[in-house]
Structure 1
Amino acid sequence: MTKESRIINFMGVRHFTSALSIVFIVISIASLAINGLKLGLDFTGGTQLELLFDKPADLNKIREVLEQEELKSPVAVLFGSEQEVMVRTQDQMKEKAQQKLSAAISALGSGAALEAVERPAREMEGFADTLVLVNVSSESVQQQNLFAAADYGRVEYQQRDGKTLVTVENSIDSVYLRRIIADIEQATSSKIELRSSEFVGPQIGDELRDQGGLGMLVAFALVFLYVAVQFQWKFSVGAIIGLIHDVIVTLGFFAFFHWDFDLTVLAAILALIGYSINDTIVIYDRIRENFRILRKMHPHEVINISITQTLGRTIMTSASVFIVLFCLYFIAGETLQGFALALIIGIVAGTYSSVYICANITAALGITKEDLMPKVRDESEVQETP
């Protein structure tokens, strides 16, 4: 078998691969437009709890309790040890507690409802919340024992403008949280210590989202400048289109399958940009070298030879990264699954784009050996050189 017979005709299928890429991008954009990204707690805001169990935690039973409470996107993972559990949900405990109380009060009938949750009056020092109830008397509420002293501490009832005011010592979110912990204790037959309870506001999530988007734009701009300086602007266009393809396809998968998009996934997207451009640079460097050596060959032939020569390196690099990512996905736990999944999809797309998109776009822009030959200094520059 001669050397020439081993050259793979990548450019011969460029029209097919271009059409395939366009189809994937259209589907991805349509998924993003219709479904949108299912933003995680990092971007939407929510609650994060750290629980310490007196014995190894049963995550499956914990997740069952969280699902029974109908919490939004609940996550329960181990951290530190088998007895330490982190619970995350996009729900805010105060809003969730208010929903539960509203349902319980509405069940009293006669149009009873929870109108609002207010701050207690100044004279009610030491109390946490004031609940404004309509169409229900304080006697009815007390008969149903909705605000037991064991849970809410001191409870004061007042009337204002025909409405019943219930002022409680313990905040409704803290009571609701204790009830969830009690349910988990019962389901897992263990004792639990609440080590911390943190709230992530949606405003912080908006800032993280905006900064992440800005980070991607800056990465694209720096990649374009780097490739233009090191190679040629036609290579830069191909590299940027390839990177945009990788990012859109990866985001499209997350939108299509409704997977959670959080900070770990955003970090994977940024890492993907670095990985994909590294693979593309290796191919570009070989194309530049071969254009200077194989001067009589057609540009498509030079590109075919260059990609074939670097194909082994591309496959081995991608395979070694895949091994690590599969280990992360199946062994490292739920926290890193999104990160690993985004990189698995992105690396497949990045390997494909490095071979079939970046070089294809560069060839379509009419790259020639003249674009890559070193510039010859004119005689005036040579005479001025000391």
Structure 2
Amino acid sequence: MELFRLKKPLSLMSKSKRFGILSVVVLILSVGLILTKGFNYGIDFAGGTLVQVKYEGKAPIDKVRKAISVDKNYEGASVTYFGSDEEIVIRTKMSSKALGEDISDKMTHLLQDTGKFEVRRVDMVGAKVGSELREKGLMSMLLAIIGILIYVSFRFEWRFAVASVMALIHDVTIAMGAVVLFGIEVNLDTLAALLTILGYSLNDTIIVFDRIREGIRTIKKPDLASIIDESVTQTLSRTTLTSLTTFFVVLTLFLFGGEIIRGFSFTLLVGIIVGTYSSIFVASPILMWLGFDVSNFREKEAEKLKREKEKEKMRAMYENGTI
């Protein structure tokens, strides 16, 4: 199925420097945000206690703050609305000694004079566990990138692998910058979204690279830029269609999925946009800038084909009993 068909190749690589400058600027801004503002770690990574409370009617947030302030364990607690003005979330860095208490009962007791409500969720994570989750989350991303580098090196050539990994780092860094910019809470759901972006972006990049490799074999042009332009143009309909369908599904989750998965869906939305952009305007130009030699590649492919034909000939002679 094709969304559209272009008769002439788009001249994309002629504008690669402009897109490169744009990507570098956005990357620098993203890294700057991460280093200066920092992540808004959720309970999963920072440790502490989260209590979600739903009221019948508008939640009296000022009364809630006053009611919980009498308990030292909730000193400096953050009380915010959650999705609607009927639900609130109470976040606090509770001491490890308090983790053994029944938080639901204690919260019911503290808020008994604030109105009719229901404690819907209680999450507790120790500071040590949160630190371990952060370390393991970072390690999982590093291992995923290393695994991708090895996989693409075996399937293609090392320049393809380097280009794809640089595009993935580009995508994840910008997604993390957007998370910091909009104050999205970083938890296990957000980490899952970042790992999903790695897979999504890699899949898109591999399809583009596969068409470029095929184009090097079949398109009778000496320069890589022209081959990339023609190959990317051939995959543009498929890339656009895949990205749009995925984007609208995730957008639906973001708009109607509720506050719980908002961080996950927002991170994915950014990742889909940036991943689609990088497959065309980041990964492909990097392949060109790394000095990929078209004639050398064709010579290697011809040599490989010659060896395969010789093997087939030897096998046929052996089967016919002439060896």
Shared topology, TM-score over 0.5?
Answer: yes
Counterpart in the other structure of 1:124: none
The match for 2:141 is 216
1:288 aligns with 2:286: no
Moved more, 355-364 or 173-182: 173-182
Instruction: Please tell me whether the aligned partners of residues 44 and 90 of structure 1 are also in contact (alpha carbons under 8 angstroms).
Output: no
Offset at 1:196? 7.2
CA distance, structure 2, for counterparts of residue 17 and residue 253 of structure 1? 19
The structure richer in helix per residue is 2
Check 1:328–1:195 CA distance in 2 against 1; reply closer, same or farther (3 A cut).
Answer: closer
**1:245-264 alignment to 2 at 5 Å?**
245-264=170-189
Matching residue of 1:162:
none
Gaps of 5+ in 2: 69-75, 319-323
RMSD: 3.3
Which of 41, 59, 62 in structure 2 is aligned with 1:61?
59
| 1:38 counterpart = 2:36 | no
Query: 1:41, 1:88 within 8 Å by CA — same for their partners in 2?
Result: no
Pick the structure with greater CA Rg. 1
Equivalent residue letter for 1:336 = I
- 2:71 is matched with none
> When you count strand as a share of all residues, which structure comes out higher?
1
Quick one: distance in 1 between partners of 2:8 and 2:58?
A: 53
Q: Deviating runs (4+, > 6 A) in structure 1?
A: 173-176, 378-384
**Tell me, what secondary structure is at the counterpart of 2:111?**
helix
Partner amino acid, structure 2, of 1:278: N
Q: Matches of 1:344 and 1:262 in 2, distance apart?
A: 17
Report the CA distance shift for 1:273/1:262 in structure 2 as closer, same or farther (over 3 A). Answer: same
Distance 1:327 1:381, change over 3 A: closer
Change (3 A) 1:304 1:198: closer
Call closer, same or farther: CA 1:196–1:337 in 2, change over 3 Å: closer
Return the offset for 1:272.
Answer: 0.4
Give the equivalent residue in structure 2 for 1:346.
271
DSSP 3-state at the match of 1:8: coil
Per-residue deviation, 1:86: 8.7
Q: Tell me, what secondary structure is at the counterpart of 2:228?
A: helix
Sequence identity percentage: 30
Q: Which residue of 2 aligns with 1:277?
A: 202
Supply the distance in 1 between the matched residues of 2:173 and 2:273 (Cα, whole angstroms). Answer: 13
SS in 1 for 2:15: helix
Residue in 2 that maps onto 1:71: 77
Q: CA deviation at 1:258?
A: 2.6
Partner of 1:181: 111
| Inter-partner Cα distance in structure 2 for 1:88 and 1:275 | 35
Q: Is the 8 A contact 1:37 1:255 kept in 2?
A: yes
Tell me the TM-score normalised to structure 1 length: 0.68
Task: State whether residues 163 and 284 of structure 2, in contact with CA within 8 Å, keep that contact through their aligned partners in structure 1.
Answer: yes
Task: Tell me how many residue pairs correspond in the alignment.
Answer: 296
Structure 1 position 28, deviation (Å): 0.7
Q: 1:73 to 1:182 in 2, by over 3 A?
A: closer
Matches within 5 A, 1:116-135: none
Q: How big is each residue's C-alpha offset from its partner over 1:89-118, in whole Å with a ceiling of 9 and x where there is no partner? A: 2432x69xxxxxxxxxxxxxxxxxxxxxxx
